[in-house]
Amino acid sequence: MTTALTIKNRKGNDKTNGVRSLVRGLAILRYINREGEVRPADIARDIGIPRPTVYRMLETLEELGYVVFSATTSQVRITRLAASLGDGYVITSELCQIAGPLFAEYANKVIWPLDLTVYNNAAMIIQETTHDRSPLSIDRGMTGYRLPVLRTSAGRAYLSFCPEEECQIILDHVRRLDAPEDRPFLEPNRLNSLLAETRQRGIAVRDGGEFRSRTASLAVPVRTEGTLLGCVSLIWIRSAMDTETALLDFGPILQQIAERVGSSLPGSIA
């Protein structure tokens, strides 16, 4: 018979195991960050964690996008996502502080809702939005909403303009998650065409009803000194406007907003 004491001890053990795993995972990340590129066996030897545990934790960290194994060696290194952990929150906060007033400034020109998104763990996260203020929005409470990378303009813009290595890491992560809705967009010819068209146009498009079927959207990258930080998107009701009109009327404005967000960051070159 299970007693209250047994349950209490079991919960205590679960908590202890969870803390131990977290401590070990952080130790592994710190070690890889310090060494640059290392073999799992070296990690196990130098920080005193059993080799099977190291491999198991590396698999989890790779799935989450924090480390990547070399395609040609058995070594592992951290990704840009892990490297940005120290300052990611600060940058995101600064982006929001800049984007909010700019969105309000453009309210008379852009009545359709605007989003500022940043990438995190196979999704674009809405950090700042005018959905709650736009009279043309059919969505509310979108701050913090996770958008799929392949089926939204924000995700497509990020994939198209991030470094090639990061793009492949994200796509590998999406493949492992294996969402049925993403499979058609992972077909090589379709994916390559989508990324090439977005790069050529400078603006990503979602207009086929693949996500939130009633709406369509455009998105452009936010960059500072060549570094991609996030995306700015415009969302409209599909039945109210066609894509060509949206690109013609709002594409240049959207690019202007994104450029002003990026150039307004502290330390950026105006």
Q: Are residues 109 and 198 in the same domain?
A: yes
Q: Are residues 169 and 101 in the same domain?
A: yes
Contacts of 226 (CB under 8 A, 6+ apart): none
* pTM of full prediction above 0.85: no
pLDDT at 1: 44
Q: Are residues 94 and 74 in the same domain?
A: no
> In the structure encoding, which two tokens stand for residue 177, read together?
């998650």
pLDDT at 268: 54
The alpha carbon dihedral of 15, 18, 20, 22 has a sign of negative
Q: Are residues 94 and 61 in the same domain?
A: no
pLDDT in tens, 167-210: 999 999 999 999 999 999 999 999 999 999 999 999 999 999 99
Q: In whole angstroms, what is the distance from residue 127 CA to residue 118 CA?
A: 7
pLDDT in tens, 37-48: 789 999 999 989
DSSP line for 216-244: EEEEEEEEETTEEEEEEEEEEEGGG--HH
Q: Are residues 147 and 24 in the same domain?
A: no
The pairing of beta strand 227-237 with beta strand 215-224: antiparallel
Q: Are residues 46 and 146 in the same domain?
A: no
Segments forming the whole domain that contains residue 147: 88-263
In eight-state DSSP terms, residue 38 is B
Q: Are residues 227 and 155 in the same domain?
A: yes
DSSP line for 84-126: TTTTHHHHHHHHHHHHHHHHHHTTTT--S-EEEEEE-SSEEEE
Q: Are residues 67 and 134 in the same domain?
A: no
pLDDT in tens, 21-69: 888 888 898 888 877 778 999 999 998 999 999 999 999 998 888 888 8
Q: Are residues 101 and 182 in the same domain?
A: yes
Point out the domain boundary residue: 58, 79, 100: 79
Q: Are residues 243 and 136 in the same domain?
A: yes
